[in-house]
Structure formats: C-alpha cells, structure tokens
Amino acid sequence: MRVPLLCALNCALLTGGMTTTASNLSRPLGESQLERLTLRSLGVYWIIQGDDNQNGFIGLEYRKLGSSPWRTGARLCRVERWAHLMERIGSELEVPDDGWLFAGSALLLEPATAYELRLTLADPDGGKATRTLRAWTRSEPLVSNTARVRLMRKDGWWGWKSEGPAFLANCPFYRAAYFPARTRGWDATMVEYDRKSEVYEYGYHVGHRALFSMRPGESLVREAGNRGLHVNMETDTGRDGLRARALENDLVYVNEFFPGYRGGVVANGTHRYAPNVKAGDLAIGSELYANLAAGTSRSPVLHVKQSGKSGIAVVPMVSPYVYLGGRLKLKAVGRSNLDHLTVSISTNNGRSFTELSSVPIAQPEDLTIDLKGKILRLYAYWIKIELTEQAGLDALEIENDIQHAPRTLPWLGKGSNTITVAADRDPTIATRSIACRITPDASFTKNETSSTMGLTFENVNLRYDACWWKGGTGLMTAPIDVPGDLVSLGFSAQIRARSEKDLVHIVASTDGGTTWRVVADMKGPTQGRTGPFRVADWPRGMRHVLLRFEMTGNNTVRVQNFRVDADYRDPLAAKTIHPFRVVHRWTEQGQAKTHTELITKLPAKYAIRTSTDPEMVSVAYEMAATR
C-alpha cells in the first residue's frame, strides 16, 4: 500500500541546538515486506523516505520463533535509485523520487522453520523505527512412492491422464504429458500454479493486418523457404529457426493443425516496384507528383515540367511483411552540373525526410542506393525524388527483401487444389500506422520514437520506454495525419493503473485541440492491461486528428506503449480492378513446375493439379507495368 507523503518536507527540526533539513530525516514509507519464501533464507525489503545524505541504515536481526537471543544479520543494502526497475516493464515496487529501497536477507536458515525478523531503522539526523515480521522457510520437497511426480510418470508418462488433476487430464494439447512442441509439460504447468497469483497482461497490439495493394509495375514474391535473412540477422547469424522444418523438433505439433505441412518458420521474399515512368505509372503511384512531366520519346522520359522549380515525386512503399533491406536503382540523365538529383527517405509517415544522396547529373548515370540501414524492421517508408533544371529519369526501380511466415502461403497438395483470390473488405481503404518507442533519447535510431512521430507530453516523466504520470493530469498527445478521408481509427495501449482511482482517459480532437471528445477509458486497478479500441464516426473530409491520453489518479499510472492504425480512403485507389497475375512455382520429383493465372475480377477461383507430392517454391503477385 502506498502511504501519503508527510506534509512537513519544508520544515526544520530542532534537536540539541542543531538545525537539520527534513529531507535528511529517514521515515518509513509503508510497512516492511517479505520476499517469496525459500528453503534456507528469508528476504525482506523496506522503502524509506528522505535520508538525502545517505547516512541512515536498517539493521537486521533474526531468531527462531519463541526462542532468544536475537542473532545479528547483515544490514539491509541501500538500492541505487531506479536500479530496481527493469528496462522494459519497470517494477511492481513504487519507490518515490525522494525515497530509498533497502533490501536484504537472513541467510543459512533451517528449512520448514518459523522465524522472527526484526528490522531497525536508524539515522544520525533523526528518525527511528522498528518492525518485527514472522515468516516460515519452505520445506524441502521429498520424493516418495506416492509422490505426484511418480504418479505423473506411471504407465509410460500416461499416469497423469488417468489419475492426475482433472484440468491436466482434460487438456487436449498434452501429448505424453508434454505440449506438442515437447518444450513444456505438466511439470511447467504445476510450477505456474504453485506461485503467487499475479494478474499482469502483457502488451499486445490489435490493428495490424496483411493489407497489400498493387500499382502498375509492382510485385510481391513470397518464397516457401529463406535465404538466411531475418530481422535479427545483424547480431544472430546462426538462428535455429531458419533451419526448422515440420515435423521436426519444436514443429512436431504442426501436422495436427496443418496436415501435410513440411515447411519452416521463417521465409523470405521480394517486394518490387518498377513503374514505366514514360507511360505515367509513377504519376499514379506517387502520393505527391509535382512539376513533373513524362511521355516524351527523348531521354529523359521523366523531367522537370517548369524550369526554375524542382520536380518532386514522393513514392510510398508499404508492405504487410517486415522489410529486411532494399535497393533503389535509378537511370538518371542530365546535361550539366546545374542539373541535380536528390533522393531522400522518410520512415515516419512522411513527417520528415533524410537525405540519402544529392549529386549533379552532367551525363547519363546509373545509380544504386542501399536502403538496408534505413528500412530494416520497418513495414513502410517513403522515397522522395527531387529533380532540378534538366535533370531527369529514364527508369526507377525499388526492390526490398522481406520476411514472412510460410505457413500462410497457399500450399499445394497432391491432386486437385482450388485457389481463391479475394480482396480484404473495401479495397479502396488503406491504413497508416503510428507505433514508436516512448523515449526522449535522440540517440535511439533503430526505430521510430515519440519525438520522430511528433508526440507531445505535459506533466509526465519519460523513462524506461514509458510515459509515467507524476501528479495532477498528465498528457500524451499523438498527431494523426492521413492523405485521404479518415474512415476509422483503431488504437491500443498497454497501461498500468494501480488503484481504483487511477485512470487513462483517451480523447480525440478534430479541430486542432480546441475541443475534445471521449473515445475510450482504461481504468484501474491493474498492474498491466492492454485495451483495443476502434472509433468509426468521423466528420466527412477529416484528415487530421489529435489522439490524447490523459492520466490521472492517486497512485501509479503509466502508458507503456501504444499503436494507432488510421484507415482512410486511399486517393491512389483505382475505381476498377487492374488485371494482375498470380504465379505459383513448385517442383515435382525435382522437376520445376509453374502455374500462371490472370486475375481480372475479385473474388476469383482456379484449380491447380499436381501428379505427385509437390514441393513449394514461391507464390508471386504481379501487376505488369503499363506498356
């Protein structure tokens, strides 16, 4: 329980003619607490307020219950401020900024024995307190002929099925007392139930879906295997998951849920965009296409329309599968050093751009720019092409490596296979996402941060990748901008709200913050909870919204992380479907096989027949560039 702060912090205490500031006094903040019991030791901690000069201490004495005298143990250790917090999830202990955590143990005790612990707080500046606790060391587990372990092992590990606890015997996922992957079993389950019950819901996000739309000149290839590429390949080059195959090791369970599957866990693929710039493909595939002209029979086929002003194209690259790297290839044309080509990239929804290359183009030149260092682990980015004077392009190609889960491929089996191609609900709707690390650390560049995504904060503390309430009303506000009319806003957040009065109030504004309306509430008490929400009633033509998290309470409130998915009417969406191809590649007895299907309407169905058991290679979705 959190004890209210004493109101005499700014007073002085007169003792023996000396004046000592109250912040040097040591006072208990709540009661001393026991740690979880063990066989031969008893741990204890106590939170103390004040003692800025750090000369106070807490002595520890212990004895068997009902006996004397007391035995002296080691003094409790003063824990460095914030050292008790884990980097990602913080701590269950709430230690105020002007408080200290003291922790220690009575050691070398006897198992299954009752003890008394006496803690004595002493401080030369004043402040003294004593607390006595009772606790019992745990008994040492004994294995006998009637022990539950032997019961579980009876009859070739099937004793648990006939004589064990009902919740184990009726569990459909146990196989020979273990889960199908054979990594966790009934013993792990019993350990989980034999501990203090803690309700703590780990953070998850609801909203991401495998949404993919194609432009002329765009293709997505999903391979059945991998080329050794994965999201942690920079630090973990020998990852076991790259070689995993069903039905081996941890994947032995797959056949029960996906009969016939023989693939792995990690697969690679390619997302490619190579528009015909002469035919105008880049114009219909760019979010911004300004002061550019195309279609001339002379080189360059794409050039600045009005001299004296830059020609600009902003090309979005969005994938339902995580990017691992990429390459931008350009055929640039120019006639003098006054002709300039500048390439920039944005990874924060186009809020800002970072220059990748800026060069004069005095003659035709092929340029290749490696994107891996900028797009690794991302799902979306934007490339800005800027041309000046007589600089132009004859060709543009963007190619990315991706990672995906091969189990979701349309796997082929022996005989006749029916394939269905369909659109996800309304194909004119696109999504823009906001997900970032909550941190003021400008040196963090592995992904987007609250700063790069434009979040603002009022009356909160930012530490340990979270937003912490510090009294009154704390505010975290996220700006949401979409290039088309907003259709719905989905968002989720992981919070901590310890007491019944702790609250995260979520509001939205469509007029720049002048007025706000409530869209969700996340209430305490909870050590950790994640809530998903969706709001679909927005004014027509709305493209800018502010989403605000308001934190109030009397104990502890924190927003650990959040995600926003803004669905909008895509201005680039075609009114009618543009034909595209689906290409299946596989092998039968070592012979390469291919099936190509032209899709002209949605949904579409077609059949693929195989003579023998096929081995999948890839499935590609290709929309040809305009001729």
Spatial distance between the Cα atoms of 596 and 420, rounded to a whole number of angstroms: 14
Would you say the C-alpha torsion 326, 331, 337, 338 has a positive or negative sign?
Answer: negative
Rounded average pLDDT over 64-91: 77
Domain match, 130 and 160 both = no
What CATH number corresponds to the domain at position 33? 2.60.40.10
Give the bridge partners for 342, in sequence order: 358, 386
Instruction: Confirm whether 523 is domain-assigned.
Output: yes
Is there a single domain that holds both residue 444 and residue 539? yes
Q: In whole angstroms, give the CA distance from residue 64 to residue 137.
A: 11
Q: Report the alpha-carbon distance of residue 124 to residue 415 in Å, rounded.
A: 87
Which is more confident, 131 or 446?
131
95 with 124, same domain: the answer is yes
Residue type, 73: G
Instruction: Answer yes or no: is pLDDT of 32 > 70.
Output: yes
Indicate the pLDDT class of residue 515, thresholds 50, 70 and 90. very high
Least confident of 63-72, 108-117, 172-181, 388-397: 172-181
Give the model's confidence band at 322: pLDDT under 50 very low, under 70 low, under 90 confident, else very high: very high
Enter the tokens of residue 438: 């909550």
pLDDT digits (tens, 9 = 90+) for 520-547: 999 988 888 888 999 999 999 999 999 9
Instruction: Tell me what pLDDT residue 5 has.
Output: 26
| Structure-token pair, residue 427 | 């194909």
Q: Are the C-beta atoms of residues 42 and 135 closer than 8 Å to each other?
A: yes
Residue 24 has a pLDDT of 85
| Cβ-contact 486, 538 below 8 angstroms | yes
Q: Indicate if 441 and 564 belong to the same structural domain.
A: yes
Please give the angle made by the CA atoms of 22, 29 and 461, to the nearest 5 degrees.
Answer: 85
Say what the pLDDT of residue 197 is. 43
Whether pLDDT at 205 is above 70: no
Mean per-residue pLDDT for 310-318? 96
| pLDDT bracket for residue 576 (50, 70, 90) | confident
* pLDDT given for residue 481 in this prediction: 96
**Model confidence band, residue 2 (pLDDT cutoffs 50, 70, 90):** very low
Over residues 335-352, the pLDDT tens digits come to: 999 999 999 999 999 999
- pLDDT tens track for 577-606: 899 999 999 999 999 999 999 999 989 999
pLDDT band at 173 (very low <50, low <70, confident <90, very high): low
Global confidence as pTM: 0.73
C-alpha span between 379 and 374 (Å, rounded): 12
Which amino acid, residue 608? I
| pLDDT for residue 1 | 26
Is the residue at 204 inside a domain?
no
Domain of residue 296 covers: 270-403
237 within a domain of the structure (yes/no): yes
Give whole-number Cα distances, 514 to 238, 475, 546, in Å.
Answer: 54, 15, 10
Beta-bridge partners for 222: 269, 619
- pLDDT value for 495: 92
pLDDT at res. 577: 87
CA distances from 547 to 459, 505, 508, 517, 535 (A): 17, 11, 5, 10, 11
Using DSSP, state whether 564 is helix, strand or coil: strand
By DSSP bridging, strand 526-535 and strand 486-497 are: antiparallel
Residues 160 and 51 in one domain: no
Q: What is the pLDDT of residue 295?
A: 84
The answer as to whether 264 is a domain residue is no
The predicted structure's pLDDT at residue 52: 87
Is it true that the peptide bond before 525 is cis, omega within 30 degrees of 0?
A: yes
CB atoms within 10 A of CB 233: 15
Can you tell me the distance from the alpha carbon of 418 to that of 605, in angstroms, rounded to the nearest whole number?
7
Question: Is 201 within a domain?
Answer: no
Same domain, 477 and 526: yes
In three-state form (DSSP H/G/I as H, E/B as E, the rest C), the secondary structure along 577-598 is CCCEEEEEEEEECCEEEEEEEE
Q: Does 6 fall in a domain?
A: no
Question: What DSSP assignment string belongs to 457-476?
Answer: EESEEEETTEEEE-SS-EEE
Contact 535, 475 (CB under 8 A): no
Residue 209 lies in a domain: no
User: What is the rounded distance in angstroms from the CA atom of residue 438 to the CA atom of residue 369?
Assistant: 30
394 and 312 in a common domain: yes
* Cα separation, 251 vs 243, whole angstroms: 11
> Is 625's pLDDT higher than 80?
yes
- The helix/strand/coil state of 169 is helix
State phi, psi for 498 to the nearest 5 degrees: -70, -40
Number of domains in the chain: 5
Q: Does residue 235 sit in the same domain as residue 323?
A: no
pLDDT of residue 276: 96
Q: In a 10 Å sphere around its CB, with 0-12 CB exposed, 13-18 middle and 19+ buried, how is residue 393 labelled? A: buried
Mean pLDDT of the chain, nearest integer? 85
Residue 559 and residue 562: Cα distance in Å, rounded?
8
CATH number of the structural domain spanning residue 375: 2.60.120.260
When pLDDT is cut at 50, 70 and 90, the band that residue 468 belongs to is: very high
Q: Are residues 338 and 417 in the same domain?
A: no
- Of 5-19, 21-35, 173-187, give the lowest mean pLDDT range: 5-19
Same domain, 437 and 564: yes
Q: Does 321 have pLDDT greater than 60?
A: yes
Do 333 and 280 sit in the same domain of this protein? yes
Res. 76: pLDDT tops 90: yes
Tally the residues of the chain: 627
Q: Are 507 and 517 in contact (CB under 8 A)?
A: yes
199 inside domain: no
Q: Which two tokens stand for residue 185?
A: 């079993």
Task: Tell me if the bond preceding 364 is cis, omega within 30° of 0.
Answer: no
Task: Name the E strands within 187-281.
Answer: 218-223, 267-273
**Distance between CA 261 and CA 614 in Å, rounded?**
11
Q: In the beta sheet, which residues pair with residue 495? A: 529, 559
- pLDDT, tens digit (0-9, with 9 covering 90-100), for 264-282: 889 999 999 999 999 999 9
Confidence check: pLDDT of 142 > 70: no
Is the pLDDT assigned to residue 89 strictly greater than 50? no
pLDDT: is 102 or 80 the higher one? Answer: 102
Say how far apart CA 555 and CA 47 lie, in whole Å. 15
Strands 604-610 and 503-509 come out as: unpaired
Helix then strand then coil, % of the chain, to nearest 5:
10, 45, 50
Residue 151 has pLDDT above 60, yes or no: no
User: What string of DSSP letters covers 395-409?
Assistant: EEEEEEEEEE-GGGS
Indicate whether 302 and 362 sit together in one domain: yes
Helix (H) or strand (E) holding 189: helix 186-193
**Collapsed DSSP state (helix, strand, coil) of residue 166:** helix
Per-residue confidence at 160, pLDDT binned at 50, 70, 90? low
